Structure 1
């Protein structure tokens, strides 16, 4: 049976003596203990809210007034995705089987996202964030993240790179659908036993989702609802993940190997804010702390932040924080700079 993937915190000084004191203090203060009760209450509240929105869709029925419910459904789907993310990191419980069940229910069944695909990609990202050769999040795709990558673009991809900063948020509107496609594509790479478990859950999600919409709405309204819902969902997730690493330092593939502390801190950006920011971004606004302690329960991230900030200050290590809007500005500025040579290249055409 497939297991929920998790990145473990280094437990000895082999990861670098600069991290060992911080890890020891964090453990002594009990901040690595699970908060299963906190998650249980949050999961129950989210499921009840999802049921309420579904009930609203059924009661309003075949009316364009159903369309506004795509917004709360989007927000609740994002909460569902955050639970799946946390389960994949073993933040909710130390029981691997229980973590897997939570991940399968929230990712595959409720969202139609293949949790095995996400965990495979996400674990590699955590191990080497912003490493151009090892982090799949900065590999060549629809977007590119270095000028060297940009130089290799041709045709439509070249035009896309020249304009990627201004197109970033519009492209996120397609991400909700893309996540489902990636999940189904990944099934072919999974062992038969995993495929037989995860595939039916993905299909069950699609059948249930479209059965609901097409049962209570006309085909035109059902398609409109699904498109708006998935567009908003992709935008919401993109807004939660975009501030975390884009525009931050990228390790030199041929340079020295960084220790755990430096590798995670200088490549990550925190987003300042209060309770609303924590809720909207699912705790990912504490990106530095999350990368240092990936199995730490979400509510403990804000508690460990002062320790991490003080530790970095004592070592003279940059600790980057920004407001939400400024974090987007920094990420978009980096994407704009990556495409700069193509905009000034006569053979590529100026824009």
Structure 2
């Protein structure tokens, strides 16, 4: 990318960046009015109450089946089923945390605590802190915690950080390991939550979270080792945690990985910041259920409190609006998205410093030159 020379004359009047930002605010306001008038922000209590009753009931049935089946290797099928149920419950907790279920923030908070801490074993407070920062600046270098991974490098600066000989070799082959590493994500999610509630940082309802996490994690381990012999219990936990983390990662990875990384110094209007850094996944109702509505990532980032079943209806409205305004709206198939993610991670790991085209920088520079 070529740099702007200092001899470029400074335009009179408001700076191009400020004019673009003001235009972006106006554009989003118009889009928000269209969405509001369509009724897609109204609550879907019947949909969510069905899920709030059905998913814990399915989990209870699975645990009863686990206790009745007893000490046998057939329990590995129960482990796989529980991994799916826990992920679906976590996705429902995600909806509650975004205020999609109830008007009352207090109700949404308590549902998130029950679903996340008590049923899944993930700290709601930890997740909320991390996820709020992600939504504010998706794919922005230095601001989005979701691109600051402990193992995988998503930027050239992360790749070039000192890692030792083994770390350097791993970076050069990281695309091969991305999806297998997701098998460890379940353990990481539990550990990060526990660490968060125990440190001396500000956290609302800390003792509620500690109590819920203790009941969930300790109680679950006691149940597993009471029903199963140590060897089968260990394999059961490996399968359940591995598949849980893998499923979570496979649902979240296509949303932003491989999309442009925003430089630290760049400021974007809300509409472009959310649309151009996000990727939708095409598919039918099965994909909607399997990904918990995360396949409509653009719509979710623009309207985080929009109930999940309305995202599908909002997508064509928002796509058409983006076409009118010349804002890139990315939508691909599921397997294509995974191929993009792996290809991008490989290119970063293999040493391509400009591993992606960054249309944002070029558009901003062209705007400055034309003014």
Could you state the TM-score of these two structures normalised by the residue count of structure 2?
A: 0.86
Q: 133-142 or 279-288: which moved more? A: 133-142
2:78 pairs with 69, 72, 75, which one? 69
**In the TM superposition, what is the alpha-carbon distance from 1:150 to its structure 2 partner?**
0.8
Aligned length: 330
Measured on the aligned residues, the alpha-carbon RMSD in Å equals 1.6
Structure 1 distance, partners of 2:80, 2:45, is 28
The answer to whether the aligner puts 1:306 opposite 2:331 as a matched pair is no
User: Bigger shift: 230-239 or 215-224?
Assistant: 215-224
Please state if 1:134 is matched with 2:149: no
Asked if the contact 1:266/1:319 (under 8 Å) is kept, the reply is yes
What corresponds to 1:332 in structure 2?
342
Q: Does 1:236 align with 2:252?
A: no
Structure 1 residue 215 displacement after superposition? 1.7
C-alpha separation in 2, matches of 1:166 and 1:270: 24
- Work out whether residues 139 and 260 of structure 2, in 8 Å CA contact, stay in contact via their aligned partners in 1: yes
Deviation at residue 56 of structure 1 after TM alignment? 1.1
**C-alpha distance in 1 between matches for 2:202 and 2:262:** 33
- Match of residue 303 from structure 2: 293
> Unaligned regions of 5+ residues in structure 2, if any?
1-21, 354-371
CA distance in 2, matches of 1:158, 1:334: 17
TM-aligned CA deviation for residue 208 of structure 1: 1.6
The match for 2:205 is 194
Q: Deviations over 1:123-146 (max 9, x none)?
A: 000000000111001125211111
Structure 2 residue aligned with 1:322, among 332, 344, 348? 332
CA contact (8 A) 1:129 1:264 kept: yes
| Closer/same/farther in 2, CA of residues 274 and 141 from structure 1, 3 Å limit | same
The SS at the match of 2:74 is helix
- 1:214 matched to 2:225? The reply is yes
Cα distance, 1:192 vs. partner? 7.2
- For the 8 Å contact 2:256–2:279, the answer to whether it is kept is yes
Match of 2:100 in 1: 91
1:20 equivalent in structure 2: 29
Which of 285-294 and 143-152 deviates more? 143-152
Of 329-338 and 214-223, deviating more is: 214-223
What are the residue-to-residue correspondences of 1:117-132 with 2, within 5 Å? 117-132=126-141
Deviation (angstroms), 1:191: 3.8
Provide the rounded CA distance (Å) in 1 between the counterparts of 2:89 and 2:284: 21
**C-alpha contact 2:125 2:204 (8 A) present in aligned 1:** no
Q: 1:50·1:76 contact (CA, 8 Å) conserved in 2?
A: yes
The answer (yes or no) to whether the contact 2:173–2:350 under 8 Å persists in 1 is no
Contact 1:62 1:216 in 2 (8 A): yes
- Aligned residue for 2:259, secondary structure, equals coil
TM-score, normalised to structure 1, is 0.91
Kept in 2: contact 1:140–1:149 (CA 8 A) = no
- Misfit runs of 4+, over 3 Å: 189-193
Aligned equivalents of 2:217, 2:264: Cα separation in 1? 41
Return the offset for 1:18. 1.4
Gaps of 5+ in 1: 1-12, 344-351
Q: Determine whether 1:48 maps to 2:35.
A: no
